[in-house]
Amino acid sequence: MHYEIISHRQTREAETACGRTMTVGELIEHLKELDQDAPIIVAGYDGNLYNSITAWDTIEEVEE
């Protein structure tokens, strides 16, 4: 089976230290280029842990 894997790299201790990151719009445009039927898996920063993404996962909005 073909999967689209998002590699997660945990390199910062605070959201404000992350620097440039994709916007929601940029992520949507990138996802449009992928196989629409392929499952998305998130790979942990060490490459040994994998997680699924569902509609029920929490997206936390943080105000600076």
The domains of the chain are located at: 4-52
Give the whole-angstrom CA distance, residue 59 versus residue 64.
Answer: 16
Please state, as a whole number, how many other Cβ atoms lie within 10 Å of the Cβ of residue 5: 12
Q: Which amino acid is at 42?
A: V
Which has more pLDDT, 10 or 6?
6
| Contact criterion met (CB below 8 Å) for 3 and 40 | yes
The pLDDT-based confidence of 12 (bands split at 50, 70, 90) is low
pTM of the model as a whole: 0.61
